[in-house]
Amino acid sequence: MCIFCKIVKGEIPNKTILEDENFLAFEDINPQAKIHILIIPKTHVDNFDLIAPKLMGEMTAFIQKVASKVGVKNDGYRLVTNIGKNGAQEVNHIHFHLLGGEQLGSIL
Ligand code: DGP
């Protein structure tokens, strides 16, 4: 079972920000910004390339709720999802990084 499925099952502790029946948002273990949250579906999907559009739509609404909850709506934030080997994805369970709480540098 993958690390994030273990987090969903409660076998690995996490600092939960927001949760509902289908999604979980929790603090990244190695934060790259003042606010660095990981957002995942509770069901295992390897990466963005494989997620069903309906689930991705529901996840979009959940991500927007997370952004509201942590107060980054006004000042803005960054969303990142790494996909596969060339995308430098380390954990093979789709996740969005929500980064903010400070001025981030440009990456593109
Ligand atoms: P990525 O490179 O996009 O696959 O990023 C994986 C992220 O997952 C990385 O920022 C560190 C984080 N991470 C890995 N293991 C754990 C864990 O056990 N708990 C938490 N909270 N984060 C983890």
What span, in angstroms and rounded, lies between the C-alpha atoms of 93 and 46?
Answer: 5
> Ligand 1 centre and the CA of 70: distance in Å?
19
Whether 22 is covered by a domain: the verdict is yes
* Enzyme catalytic residues: 95
Whether 78 is covered by a domain: the verdict is no
Whether 95 is covered by a domain: the verdict is no
Q: Does ligand 1 have an atom closer than 6 angstroms to the CB of 13?
A: no
Whether 82 is covered by a domain: the verdict is no
Full-model pTM: 0.98
The number of distinct structural domains making up the chain is: 1
CATH of the domain at 35: 3.30.428.10
Whether 92 is covered by a domain: the verdict is no
Whether 51 is covered by a domain: the verdict is yes
What span, in angstroms and rounded, lies between the C-alpha atoms of 96 and 108?
Answer: 18
What span, in angstroms and rounded, lies between the C-alpha atoms of 47 and 44?
Answer: 9
Whether 21 is covered by a domain: the verdict is yes
The preferred substitution site among 28, 86, 94, 97 for testing ligand 1, maximizing ligand atoms within 8 Å of CB, is: 28
> Ligand 1 centre and the CA of 93: distance in Å?
10
Backbone angles phi and psi of 7, in degrees to 5: -65, -45
pLDDT tens per residue across all 108 residues of the chain: 999 999 999 999 999 999 999 999 999 999 999 999 999 999 999 999 999 999 999 999 999 999 999 999 999 999 999 999 999 999 999 999 999 999 999 988
* Domain boundaries, position 18: 1-71
- For tokens 């999907």, the residue is 45
Q: Does ligand 1 have an atom closer than 6 angstroms to the CB of 25?
A: no
